[in-house]
Each structure stands twice: as structure tokens, then as C-alpha cells.
Amino acid sequence: MTAYLTSLHAIVTREALRFIHQRERFVAALVRPLVWLLVFAAGFRAALGLSIIPPYQTYITYETYIVPGLCGMILLFNGMQSSLSLVYDREMGSMKLLLTSPLPRGWLLFCKLLGSTAISILQVYAFLAIAALFGITMPGWGYVTVLPALVVAGLMLGALGLVLSSFIKQLENFAGVMNFVIFPMFFLSSALYPLWKMAESSELLHDICALNPFTHAVELIRFALYVEWSGMALLWTVLAAGLFAAAALIGYDPARTRIGRRG
């Protein structure tokens, strides 16, 4: 058992060290949602009228509405960023160290996932703190109850990153991830607009949004921020996490992959 904990500690520490070495990454990860919150949301405030939908009990401003979506955005970008770093690790060869360790591969990948999720969550809290400084606050307990929601959502999106990293052959292909994964997932979700708004424009788009696991991750965070329970969102997010984790295990199965083929 100690071997498992030792490796967990080492992998999480390495992720943290790498993160400390890249301070620009931390700043970039914060600037992106803040631009959305302080610029985009301010501009759209007048254009989008929001009715009272759960978990909100009163009229809210648009800035307040998009905070959970932007928390999700941080997790999404970080999940993809860690997949990018896995592809990089593979090209540089350091992934080979992990894959030739005698500990089970699934466990080692889970450690990686946990490490990157922990770093994402730190960034979400930094974002929530800055939002609070600008007067966009949540109920006090919400900052506590959102933690498990962030863990589940972060693991789900990190697992998606793992799946992608096992299929992306080269670093250069990463731009495709941006276009075909991050943007559709983000815009086809309830991050920026409630789903009933989407239904007014197109039933089909609404249905796609409702299937998107990122929508459920955002709703999970939204309800948790208001100390409310959303079983459906939790169920979908956990199911998606399980599915992505299984796909990642298949992707990293030595009998099926050619990891290490390059260099």
C-alpha cells in the first residue's frame, strides 16, 4: 500500500513543481475567465435577460450567472492543458518512466489525473476570490460545498484530456483539440446561457447541450455553489468520468497502443 501512496505523492509533487515553474500558465489560466467575467459579461448584461431558475431564488445579474461556467472553463482548459503536457512527456520520453514502472498503469494515470485536478481547483479558488473582490459573491458555505463538485468535474475533464492524449500522435495536432473539443464543449453547454434560452433558438442545439457532459459539470458546480443538491448533474458527470477513464485505460493499454514509438 505504501508504494501506492509514495508514487501518488511523487506524481502530485511533480505536477505541482512543474506548475510553479510555469507561473505564466497560472496567470493565463486566471486572465481568461476574468476577461469573460469582467468584459464579456458586462457587455452582455443588457442583452440577456435571465429569469429566475433554480438554484437562484431571485433575479441575478449575468455576471453572477456565468461564474460557475467560468469555473468549469478553468477545469476544461486545464484538463486539456494536462493532456497537452502528457503528449509532450511522451515526445520527450519521460512518459516512458511512468509506463515502465512496476505499479499498475491505471493507478499511475489516476495519480496524474489527481495531481492536475488539484492544481485546477487551486486556480478555480483564485478565480472565485478575485470575482468576490469585484463584488460577485456566493453564499458563504457555497465556497465549501463547491469543493467536491470541483473534484468530480475536474476528474471528469482531466480523464477526457487523458483519452485525447492517448490518441493525439503529435504535439502539433493540439490545435485541433482547441477547435473540436474545447470550443464546442464550452459553447454547447449551459456555461454562458441557460438551456431554456438555447431551446428558444433551436431544439436540436438544446438537445446537444443537454447531452454534453460539460453542461452537467457546470450545473453541478452551479448548484453546489448555492449549497444545493443536483443528483442528475452528479450522476451524468460521474458516468462521463467513468466512461472517459475506461477509454483512457484502453488508450494506454500496451497491447493496443504504440506509445513510445516516437523516440
Binding site for other proteins (CB under 8 A): 2-4, 6-7, 9-11, 14, 17-18, 21, 92-94, 96-104, 108, 254-255, 257-261, 263
State the Cα–Cα distance between residues 180 and 103, nearest whole angstrom.
Answer: 34
Helix 213-225 to helix 142-167 angle, to the nearest 10 degrees? Answer: 160
CA 176 to chain centroid, in Å, comes to 18
Closest to other proteins by CB, 5 vs 53, is 5
User: In the complex, what is the shortest distance from the CB of residue 6 to other proteins, in angstroms, rounded to a whole number?
Assistant: 4
User: In the complex, what is the shortest distance from the CB of residue 172 to other proteins, in angstroms, rounded to a whole number?
Assistant: 19
26 contacts 19 by C-beta, under 8 angstroms: yes
User: In the complex, what is the shortest distance from the CB of residue 246 to other proteins, in angstroms, rounded to a whole number?
Assistant: 19
Closest to other proteins by CB, 9 vs 129, is 9
Q: Provide, for the chain, the percentages of residues in helix, strand and coil under a 3-state DSSP scheme, each rounded to the nearest 5.
A: 75, 0, 25
User: In the complex, what is the shortest distance from the CB of residue 255 to other proteins, in angstroms, rounded to a whole number?
Assistant: 4
State the Cα–Cα distance between residues 252 and 31, nearest whole angstrom.
Answer: 33
User: In the complex, what is the shortest distance from the CB of residue 12 to other proteins, in angstroms, rounded to a whole number?
Assistant: 10
Closest to other proteins by CB, 13 vs 51, is 13
User: In the complex, what is the shortest distance from the CB of residue 167 to other proteins, in angstroms, rounded to a whole number?
Assistant: 16
Closest to other proteins by CB, 99 vs 195, is 99
User: Which whole-number Å values give the CA distances from 154 to 55, 118, 119, 120, 157, in the listed order?
Assistant: 21, 8, 10, 7, 5
| Residue whose entry in the numeric block shows the C-alpha cell 473540436 | 180
Closest to other proteins by CB, 40 vs 88, is 88
State the Cα–Cα distance between residues 106 and 246, nearest whole angstrom.
Answer: 10
Closest to other proteins by CB, 17 vs 35, is 17
Give CA torsion, residues 108, 77, 88, 5, to 10 deg: -20
List Cβ neighbours of 141 (8 Å cut-off, separation of 6 or more).
227
